[in-house]
Amino acid sequence: MKIEYIENPVYDTTNNIYSLYLAGSEMAKEDTILLESDLIFKPEILTKLITSPDQNLAVVSPFEPWMDGTCTLLDEERYITGILDKVRFNWSETGDYYKTVNIYKFSKEFTQQYYLPFLDAYQKAFGKNEYYEQVLKVISFLSSSALKGLVVSGNEWYEIDDPADLAIAEDRFKSGSEKLHSLEKRYGGYWRFPQIKDFCYLVNPYFPPAKMVSELTASFGTLLTQYPSGAAQQSLLASKIFNVMPEHIVVGNGAAELISSLSKFVTGKVAVPFPTFNEYPERFAAAEVIPVPTNMENFSYSVDDIIATVKKEQAQAAVLINPDNPTGNFLDRDEVLRLCAELKKLNAILFFDESFIDFAEKERRYTLLDEGILSEYPNLIVVKSISKSYGVPGLRLGVLACSDETYIMRIRKTNAIWNINSFGEYFLQIYDKYSKTYAAACDSIAEERSRFAKRLAELKGFTVFPSQANYLLCKLTGKVQAEELAVQLLEKYNIFIKDLSSKKCFEKGSYIRLAVRDQTDNDALVAALKDILG
């Protein structure tokens, strides 16, 4: 391929309209492909562009929230009827928008008769520090049949303007286990990848309702521009929701912040059933973590197993996540209260994480966020993730409760003064109006989990473990291993699941965790698994 360079010597004081103008004489000689250098894209786009019978095309993509820059409007025959700059952009109308990818095909005739004359005129009128898209905007305004749109998917290209864009583009175009591990290391932010269906991270697909979202949206401008309240006001709001005295509860920036804060006061030996949510053992750096014996066939354990370990090791505390993550193992209310009583006799603390307890079957569902229970057991510290249970992980909310007011004050002082933003505070303020809707949403999760588990159990080489949470632990008993399955689901179906191979007790690489989403998404996953597992 022969490459000719056309240099713009005044690039620092002009824009791309002048650079293109300098190349005009070459463009007039033959049909032209015009593309910008800050793009990464699949080569199929060029193939579609060149082989299309349409002579003059702009590659466009249905608008997605991550996109920025010039957008177009298309008619039923894909002719560009309008090109919108940032001034005319309207977020309420983005369903009709197509983002320009900045890849074009111009015929020689179009360049000679339309584009170059208008380019020259526009430049003389408005100067050299403009964008060449403005010329296309004028042409589309004067003639709605001059240029067509070639529609491509948003996952076929990406524009790279800064290091953050580069990182996203790399994740989009990586493949195999490299892509999987790269996504895993993000720990969220998957709204940047709208094509991905996330079965890895755990939220409530049935809450919040549209009405609550509308109420939050209506106050967006105020919440965005106003400071949130301090910790005392957040505790008042949480106390109303959970029926706990304000001095006995503290609100955190997600449960993760609260775990980090309480870990600063945890020393000695702590009994923890494994496998578990890694945040607890990893944060308890000043303590000695003692594993509670667990049945490795079904990853179950009992209250007696925890009590025996605390007695044998003379542990100062125990951690119980109920339902447990990632196994879904569940202990009923009476058993857990017996554990509280036994540990109280032993002068040992119980850290009880009930982040997923609202998803248990209705007849088994309970909470220890109760003033009577907390008062009876001052050795009980309850942690709950609002982000997971209530389907608002972007707000980052969690609570920690204990009847020991001194302990609560220590946690509150450890947290930042403004650890909760105004959106999170407003959510706590308006939640009571939607509490019945939330209860119904949890019932829906329990019902859908049961149906989903039955469908998964029908798959060959697939074992599903009992769960009372919004996720299912599954074991692969055929030839396909966890990482291989995760990669195939991601590459073939844009489905992202949790490969548990890096977690303690799952090192053999045959275990996965699947979030429970709504019926449509869950059925799509079952169909994909059937295809891969045969």
298-336, pLDDT tens digit by residue? 999 999 999 999 999 999 999 999 999 999 999 999 999
Same domain, 399 and 259: yes
Same domain, 142 and 251: no
118 in any annotated domain: yes
380 in any annotated domain: yes
Please give the Cα distance from 174 to 182 (Å, whole number): 9
Same domain, 256 and 379: yes
Rg of the chain, C-alpha, whole Å: 29
Same domain, 408 and 304: yes
pTM of the entire structure? 0.84
Q: How many degrees, rounded to 5, is the angle at CA 344 between CA 340 and CA 346? A: 120
Tokens, residue 457 = 């159990």
List the CATH number of the domain containing 200.
3.90.1150.10
Same domain, 405 and 293: yes
The per-residue DSSP string of 87-137 comes to: TT--GGGGGG-EEEEEEEEE-HHHIIIIIHHHHHHHHHHH-SSS-THHHHH
* pLDDT in single tens digits along all 534 residues of the chain: 889 999 999 999 999 889 989 999 999 999 999 999 999 999 999 999 999 999 999 999 999 887 888 889 999 999 998 888 777 888 888 889 999 999 999 999 989 988 888 888 888 888 888 888 888 888 877 776 788 999 999 889 999 988 988 988 888 888 889 989 988 998 888 888 888 999 999 999 999 999 999 999 999 999 999 999 999 999 999 999 999 999 999 999 999 999 999 999 999 999 999 999 999 999 999 999 999 999 989 999 999 999 999 999 999 999 999 999 999 999 999 999 999 999 999 999 999 999 999 999 999 999 999 999 999 999 999 999 998 899 999 999 999 999 999 999 999 999 988 899 999 999 999 999 999 999 999 999 999 999 999 999 999 989 999 999 999 999 999 999 999 999 999 999 999 999 999 999 998 889 999 999 999 999 999 999 999 998
- Identify the pLDDT of residue 420: 94
Same domain, 425 and 445: no
364 in any annotated domain: yes
1 in any annotated domain: no
Same domain, 274 and 200: no
Tokens, residue 340 = 């509280």
List the CATH number of the domain containing 147.
3.90.550.10
Domain boundary among 432, 463, 494: 432
164 in any annotated domain: no
168 in any annotated domain: no
Same domain, 326 and 465: no
Q: Are 250 and 235 in contact (CB under 8 A)?
A: yes
- Identify the pLDDT of residue 219: 95
Please give the Cα distance from 269 to 310 (Å, whole number): 9
250 in any annotated domain: yes
Same domain, 247 and 372: yes
The per-residue DSSP string of 306-325 comes to: HHHHHHHHT-SEEEEESS-T
Q: How many degrees, rounded to 5, is the angle at CA 446 between CA 441 and CA 447? A: 95
Q: Which domain holds residue 97?
A: 16-159
Q: Which residues does residue 336 pair with via DSSP β-bridges, in sequence order?
A: none
Same domain, 252 and 186: no
Same domain, 200 and 218: no
Q: State how far the alpha carbon of 253 is from the alpha carbons of 135, 258, 412, 415, in Å.
A: 49, 7, 12, 9
Same domain, 278 and 424: yes
- Identify the pLDDT of residue 32: 93
Of 258, 268, 405, 294, give the one whose Cα is nearest residue 349.
268
Q: Which residues does residue 72 pair with via DSSP β-bridges, in sequence order?
A: 83, 98
- Identify the pLDDT of residue 144: 66
List the CATH number of the domain containing 306.
3.40.640.10
Residue carrying structure tokens 């309850």: 382
Domain boundary among 94, 127, 159: 159
- Identify the pLDDT of residue 59: 95
Please give the Cα distance from 381 to 353 (Å, whole number): 8
Domain boundary among 413, 432, 451: 432
Total domains in the fold of the chain: 3
3 in any annotated domain: no
